[in-house]
Structure 1
Amino acid sequence: MATKVSVEDLLRSPALQLRLLAGQAGLSRSVSWAHVSELDDPTPWLLGAEVIMTTGIGVPHSAARQRAYLERLDDAGVSALALSAQLHVPPLRRAFFEAAEERGMPVLEVPLAVPFIAIAQEVAAAVQEDARQRLGAQLQVFGALRWLAAEDLDHATLFRRLERLSGYEVFLCTPQGRPLLPGVPVPSVDVLPAVPEAPPTIPGGFVLPVPAPGGPAGFLVAFEREGARPAGLAVVQHIATVAALQVAMVRHERETLRREGAETLSELLQDVLDPAAARRRLARMGLESPIALLAVRQVGDDALRRALDGRPHLMLRRGDDHYVLGSPSLATAVAAIQGVAAGVSRPFVSGEPLRVAQREAVWAAARAAESGRALVHYGDDTTGRWLQDDPWVLTALVEHVLGAVLAYDSAHGSQLLTSARTWMERDRRTEDAAAALHVHPNTLAYRLRRFAELTGRDLSSSAAFAEVWLAIRAAHQLGLQD
């Protein structure tokens, strides 16, 4: 099987009589075509691996512009620049030759007696067999859709097969450089274009957007594999199409699982699934014991989904709140969301009813919102969780301990109860509580003294403090606090 023609092969051809002016380090560069261009910037119309031939009309005159001209060609993947001798080439500056040497960009001189068509014919003849190989690779890569349907390949296996057929190493990523498909490696962010419409050619390969509704889902980067025979841009474009199809399938599967998860969680919260059926369904969704329920507030759908991406979970939105069922470790990811207030239940066994877990998670979320914390685990408050569920008992406790304060706040529009609660929640740190209430510490101190007078309880006493704290938690449970 013939080897693709290189710049050095052209330089050694007796018929072409080419002379190397600079860039010897790049003589091993492969050549896919030879093309005449007199443009100052032909790069938008190039695919890479071309020999650009010019009489010099488009070559700038100044040193800085000559250097920029050569660098543009090199950035576009041009294999070599061939300049016709004795025609329109301006004096070549030292900066031009320095750039060629730095980049290993071969610059060739073509004798006046050698027409450009002779170079083009030499290249065309040399790559004819390679073109046949490319066609065979294209036909096999175009069969990727048949593989998907017949063999049910996973992403990693599919793209390894595409790599072997195409002659490229393939990488995929989101626009931010994160993994796009499981099992497919991520490229260096340095090669990603600033805009999706950028030219596809990069040194050693191509970078293409992966199309998706609403804008690119990410980028495909393909680098020529050493010792392989790259099949060209058309094949890489088809691989990008295959990647787009895979992304669409993954998104559809995720949306289907999200809807199924929301329905399952709704049924669990309503206690309409028997334990055995619940365990089977949760296991199918990747949830194994122990699990926990989170109640999440003050966060949007997208932010919560991003935080939980890649982690098995069920999510259900009710009003402005979200319920999330999954591993207790999900709490760490949720707590990292900006501005969130979340509560997490105690861990429990998969299949158990969620009535208790729901009450624990909601209680903990309310506690998080009140205290300004991102996350509260049920049980952080070692007293409030022991309150009875009987509203008559709770009402009696509140009336006995806080009745006078509630009446005073109602009559005067004051905030004695809120002030005492905030001070207690912040472990009796007056400065912190005053800042949270947006009042002066002296104002808070006065309110606490007035609170103690009305309740008849000295808050420096451990017994009185515990009784007041239980009463405040009971008042919240009854909805008597803002």
Structure 2
Amino acid sequence: MRLSEALALDALRDAEVVAGRRGLDNEVRWAHVVEIPDPLPWVREGQLLLTTGYAWPRANLAQHRLLRGLVERGLAGIGLAVPKYLERFPRAVVTEADRLGLPLMQIPWEVPFARITEEVNGAVIAEQYQVIEQGTAIHQSLTRAAQEAESLQDIADTLGELIGRAVTFEDTDGNVLGAWQPDDDLDPARRATLEQGRVPVEVEQHLSRLGYTQAIRDSAGPLRLPALPEIGLRGRIACPVRLKDELVGVVWIIEGEQQLNGLDLRAAEHASIVAALHVAYQGRLSAAEARLGASFLDTLLEGSFELTASNLERARLLGFSPEESYRAAVVVLDEPLPLGREAIQRRDRLADRLRWHLTSPGSMAVTSLQLRHVTFLLPASLEAARIWSQVKAPGLSMAVGRPHPGAEGVPRSYREAQKVAAHLAPGELRRYEELLIPRVLDGDREAQDDFLENLLGPLRRARGGEVLVDSVLCFARHGFRRNEAAAALHVHPNTLRYRLERAGDLAGLQLREPETRFRLQLAAQLLSLPDKKGQ
């Protein structure tokens, strides 16, 4: 208990603090009566020393030496019974105690020391028993979490409610795996972390420059970080989560101005152990699931999927619907080959994170790993930018093929994504459609066919589609002058206007836009090539 709390007890209610007020937060572990000239050998850290002053030294030099010795031993404070042997603490003692921060209290002679020691020591024992009870409750809660938690979010909830502080569980890349906060007691850095789903890059870089990132990696237990107002970060406790010697995550607790007590720190350590057990269990479970899912995805990517009843059932269980259209996506790690141990671990964590984010929108939460590539499928209805925003990190890029229907369309989209991946720079998200024009101009036959299909395919599949295609291309060949194009087609200008409007509606062509006109002119030129005639 704190000395200030001890002074609130009935036995010390009339005690007067005459010096060392800044030490009133000192911890009191026991109250002890000493009445000998040299009490130093008989006192211990955290004790409240009670004396009548009978054996108190009278010389100033001896008094100063005694006070300094008591402070060095960690004494919580001194209580002097007055005025039997000393009317009050000598002025020189009061001045020195103020300088040392050692609390001095004058206690009325009528208050028996036996009463004081009984109340103080009883309160200390009661508090220690309460700590034991709280420790047992914490142990039971976290042990129950270890048995029942379905995610790190459950463990974060348990720890946060136990200690009443804002908590996050983050992986080694700074991605939030679970979070709990009381009301809105967050600093700017934590608020940005929760909004982005990961630690902001500028915060990561600042902590790394100051050496804290490495210190956390090297630490075997909780590490206290001071407030860093330049990045909006209040004081924190970082508790490493380890599997054997490997750091797999960090428990972050906002500490603020009031530091965590020893019990809370032990709770954080216990929670980190529970988190490590959960990560190990989930790792084994997800590894088995990932192997099964990856094997299935590989058959789709390779084009070897067979439409048997058992395969279709397996496909539906994994979230793949043969009736829908999918895009193949490839996340590329900017790592040299062959991959080292850390790069492989980073790739595996990326795959885990991708599967987790793909589960939320109900997508097929399956990945395939090959060297620096992590491949997965996206339903045509799911924007690739959404997934990219959740996994984007330094040294990563993402290539996306076009959506194609069913199992037979997956290999085609995968080939497209691979072609895009070969032209990616770190940090980029690129779609196959975006690279078609450069590849068309470079003479890529497949890209030319895809370009024509993208642009004119919706028209060709419509009723009277060939007439619409001929009208649009003739319009382009004649410099988008409607009267000239109508004369070349031997139709009235109003007839051509109607065809152009219908073509625009069917294929989403904005015929006044420079970009659309460029694509149509390019298509007209391509179709004039000998190998394209008749397409």
Structure 1 length normalisation: TM-score? 0.51
Matched, 1:56 2:91: no
Partners of 1:8 and 1:240 in 2: CA distance: 32
Could you list the per-position Cα deviations for residues 137-166 of structure 1 after superposition, in whole angstroms to 9, with x for gaps in the alignment? 3334333476357755654455545566x5
Matched, 1:377 2:431: yes
Offset at residue 378 of structure 1 (A) = 1.6
Seen in structure 2, the aligned counterparts of structure 1 residues 261 and 230 have a Cα distance that, compared at 3 Å, is: same
Partners of 1:35 and 1:214 in 2: CA distance: 44
Matched, 1:318 2:370: yes
Matched, 1:292 2:312: no
Could you list the per-position Cα deviations for residues 57-82 of structure 1 after superposition, in whole angstroms to 9, with x for gaps in the alignment? 3769xxxxxxxxxxxx9xxxxxx953
Partners of 2:225 and 2:31 in 1: CA distance: 19
Aligned amino acid, residue 242 of structure 1: V
Query: Which ranges of structure 2 fall in alignment gaps of 5 or more residues?
Result: 33-43, 50-65, 80-88, 191-206, 227-234, 336-343, 359-364, 450-520, 531-535
Partners of 2:225 and 2:421 in 1: CA distance: 51
Backbone CA RMSD of aligned residues: 6.0
Matched, 1:266 2:298: yes
Offset at residue 382 of structure 1 (A) = 4.3
Aligned amino acid, residue 182 of structure 1: G
Question: Map of 1:6-405 to 2, 5 A cutoff?
Answer: 7-10=4-7, 14=11, 17=15, 19=17, 21=19, 23=21, 33-34=29-30, 55-57=67-69, 81-82=76-77, 92=96, 108-110=103-105, 122-144=119-141, 147-148=144-145, 151=148, 155-158=152-155, 160-161=157-158, 166=162, 168-169=164-165, 171-174=167-170, 178=174, 181-185=177-181, 195=216, 196=219, 208-216=239-247, 217-219=249-251, 221=253, 235=267, 237-270=269-302, 271-272=304-305, 274=307, 276-277=312-313, 279-283=315-319, 291-297=326-332, 299-300=334-335, 301=344, 309=353, 310-312=356-358, 313-319=365-371, 321-326=373-378, 328-329=384-385, 332-333=388-389, 342-348=398-404, 351=407, 353-366=409-422, 368=423, 374-380=428-434, 381-382=436-437, 384=439
Partners of 1:207 and 1:375 in 2: CA distance: 33
Aligned amino acid, residue 212 of structure 1: L
Could you list the per-position Cα deviations for residues 417-447 of structure 1 after superposition, in whole angstroms to 9, with x for gaps in the alignment? xxxxxxxxxxxxxxxxxxxxxxxxxxxxxxx
Query: Which ranges of structure 1 fall in alignment gaps of 5 or more residues?
Result: 37-44, 61-72, 74-79, 101-106, 394-461, 472-482
Q: Secondary structure at the match of 1:283?
A: coil
Offset at residue 357 of structure 1 (A) = 1.0
Size of the aligned set, in residue pairs, is 351
* Bigger proportion of residues as helix: 2
Offset at residue 346 of structure 1 (A) = 1.0
Partners of 2:371 and 2:391 in 1: CA distance: 20
Q: Secondary structure at the match of 2:19?
A: strand
Could you list the per-position Cα deviations for residues 301-339 of structure 1 after superposition, in whole angstroms to 9, with x for gaps in the alignment? 556566663522543233555433335236745995656
Seen in structure 2, the aligned counterparts of structure 1 residues 55 and 173 have a Cα distance that, compared at 3 Å, is: farther
Kept in 1, the 8 Å contact 2:169–2:252? The answer is yes
Q: Secondary structure at the match of 1:325?
A: strand
Seen in structure 2, the aligned counterparts of structure 1 residues 201 and 372 have a Cα distance that, compared at 3 Å, is: closer
Could you list the per-position Cα deviations for residues 156-182 of structure 1 after superposition, in whole angstroms to 9, with x for gaps in the alignment? 455545566x56446244487946642
Seen in structure 2, the aligned counterparts of structure 1 residues 140 and 339 have a Cα distance that, compared at 3 Å, is: closer
Q: Which has the higher contact order (CA 8 A, sep 6+)?
A: 1
Aligned amino acid, residue 362 of structure 1: Q
Partners of 1:467 and 1:342 in 2: CA distance: 30
Partners of 2:388 and 2:158 in 1: CA distance: 38
Partners of 1:352 and 1:258 in 2: CA distance: 22
Aligned amino acid, residue 214 of structure 1: D
Partners of 1:214 and 1:290 in 2: CA distance: 44
Aligned amino acid, residue 138 of structure 1: G
Partners of 1:218 and 1:335 in 2: CA distance: 18
What residue in structure 1 maps to residue 340 of structure 2? Answer: none
Aligned amino acid, residue 69 of structure 2: I
Kept in 2, the 8 Å contact 1:179–1:185? The answer is no
Offset at residue 354 of structure 1 (A) = 1.5
Report percent identity of matched pairs: 17
Offset at residue 244 of structure 1 (A) = 3.1
Question: Map of 1:412-431 to 2, 5 A cutoff?
Answer: none
Seen in structure 2, the aligned counterparts of structure 1 residues 155 and 338 have a Cα distance that, compared at 3 Å, is: closer
Kept in 2, the 8 Å contact 1:18–1:108? The answer is no
Kept in 1, the 8 Å contact 2:331–2:396? The answer is yes
